[in-house]
Amino acid sequence: MKNNERSKSAVFLIEFLITLAVFSLACVVALRLYAKADSLQDNALRTDCASTIAATVAQELFLSGEDEQTLADYCAAAQSVSDGYSLYFSDSCTRCGQSEAAYMAVFSVERTEGSPALLNTEISVYAVQSALSAQLNDEPVYTLTAARYYPQMEVEQ
Amino acid sequence: MKTRESFPIRINGVSLLIMLILMCITVFAVLSLVSANSEYKLSQKAAQTQADSYLADAHAQQKLMLAQQLAAQARGLSGDYLENLKTLLEQNGFGVVLRTGAVCASFTTESSGNFAVTAAICLYADGSASVESYSLKNISAELAQGDSSSLWGA
């Protein structure tokens, strides 16, 4: 009788342990899948926001580019960095101060040699956790190269 | 007589419930991963498309600048300005049409990614110029159904 009860307990223990092992294993796999999905979704959001920021900066630059003074004012409003100017953007992809920034857009403005009427720009958007070392180490989230021609400037000259 | 013993580990209601929960967790995890992955791919594609369209536009802007520079060059040559300009534009790969008092040059930029810009600019004898048409075209095989738009509204 006693032997029979002991055997039943052992079987129950084995069954319980197997269930626990399978459950744990499945939970680990599911957690990894959720983590991977979360990271992919984060990257997707970051890419979307970075491309929106780059396009915004390009449009603003080209609107200011028609007039030398307006362009100089636009650049003066940005922070000067080693290879251009930087602007800060929040999580919602709108302009903000450095302290609330989630993204940093670094842009350069060049006039083509021999023709100042062609404005070339390269805009790189970095995630802000790496803002301080962005230009040294980290890859930008998104880079946009654009150019705009202002025929009236050529005529003026 | 010894009776045949059944398999000691039985599949009871609790085991079935646990299996059901596990299946649900796994299915939802996989669905979430698939959805996030497609979202990621879509965002990458959209970002690349934007970069390509801006690059195509940059090439077109350079071509417009070249046309204006050729006009300035033609002004410095002796002879008929419009005839000189026509020759210069043709030498630089523009499609040229001579109109009364103007030379109209058209071009299509080299494709960058899936995009190319087709534009036409008219250069007048008085030195002025106007962009007659400017369209950004998606030339990828699957989307080449006349999908075009103007980036700058020119």
Separation between Cα atoms, residue B24 and residue B32, nearest integer Å: 12
CA of B40: how far to CAs of A47, A57, A75, B49, B127, in Å? 8, 23, 33, 14, 50
Q: Nearest by CB to B32, from A18, A33, A148: name it.
A: A33
Q: Nearest by CB to B50, from A30, A45, A51: name it.
A: A51
Under DSSP, the state recorded for A93 is S
Predicted pLDDT of residue B9? 58
Comparing A90 with B148, the larger pLDDT belongs to: A90
Q: Residue A150: how many CB atoms within 10 A of its CB?
A: 20
Predicted pLDDT of residue A47? 95
Range name among A43-52, A122-131, B122-131, B145-154 with the lowest pLDDT average: B145-154
Separation between Cα atoms, residue A149 and residue B33, nearest integer Å: 44
Q: Please indicate whether, in this complex, the C-beta atoms of A44 and B42 are within 8 angstroms of each other.
A: yes
Predicted pLDDT of residue A133? 52
- Is residue B106 within 8 A of residue B94, CB to CB? The reply is yes
Q: Please indicate whether, in this complex, the C-beta atoms of B25 and A120 are within 8 angstroms of each other.
A: no
Predicted pLDDT of residue B46? 93
Please name the residue of chain A whose CA is at the shortest distance from the CA of residue B51: A144
User: Which of A124, A117, A125, A103 lies closest to A62 in space, CA to CA?
Assistant: A117
- The residue of B33, B41, B124, B130 whose CB has the most chain A CBs within 10 angstroms, and thus the best one to mutate to test that interface, is B33
Q: What is the mean pLDDT of residues B104-110?
A: 89
Q: Nearest by CB to B62, from A33, A58, A147: name it.
A: A147
- The residue of A5, A27, A33 whose CB has the most chain B CBs within 10 angstroms, and thus the best one to mutate to test that interface, is A33
Q: Please indicate whether, in this complex, the C-beta atoms of A44 and B39 are within 8 angstroms of each other.
A: yes
Residue whose tokens read 């594609």: B45
Predicted pLDDT of residue B149? 52
Return per-residue pLDDT of chain A as tens, 157 residues. Answer: 566 777 778 888 888 888 889 889 999 999 999 999 999 999 999 999 999 999 999 999 888 877 778 888 888 888 888 878 999 999 999 998 888 888 999 999 888 766 667 888 999 999 887 555 544 457 899 999 999 888 765 554 4
Q: Which residues of B touch A (CB under 8 A)?
A: 8-10, 15, 18, 22, 25-26, 28-30, 32-33, 35-37, 39-40, 42-44, 46-47, 50-51, 54-55, 57-58, 61-62, 64-65, 68-69, 72, 127-129, 152
Predicted pLDDT of residue B41? 96
Share of chain B above pLDDT 70, in %: 83
pLDDT band at B132 (very low <50, low <70, confident <90, very high): confident
Helix axes B13-75, B81-91, angle to 10 degrees: 140
Q: Nearest by CB to A147, from B26, B44, B61: name it.
A: B61
Predicted pLDDT of residue B30? 94
Under DSSP, the state recorded for A111 is E
Separation between Cα atoms, residue B139 and residue B148, nearest integer Å: 9
Task: Tally the residues of chain A.
Answer: 157
Predicted pLDDT of residue B42? 96
Q: Give per-residue pLDDT as tens, B11-69.
A: 678 778 888 998 999 999 999 999 999 999 999 999 999 999 999 999 998 898 888 88
- Å between B61 CA and nearest CA of chain A: 5
- Is residue B37 within 8 A of residue B43, CB to CB? The reply is no
Predicted pLDDT of residue A4? 72
Predicted pLDDT of residue B153? 45
Q: Residue A51: how many CB atoms within 10 A of its CB?
A: 24
Share of chain B above pLDDT 90, in %: 29
Q: Nearest by CB to A33, from B33, B54, B58: name it.
A: B33
Under DSSP, the state recorded for B127 is S
Predicted pLDDT of residue A77? 86
DSSP string, B52-101: HHHHHHHHHHHHHHHHHHHHHHHHTSSS-HHHHHHHHHHHTT-EEEEETT
Q: Please indicate whether, in this complex, the C-beta atoms of B26 and A23 are within 8 angstroms of each other.
A: no
Q: Please indicate whether, in this complex, the C-beta atoms of B54 and A146 are within 8 angstroms of each other.
A: yes
Separation between Cα atoms, residue A135 and residue A138, nearest integer Å: 7
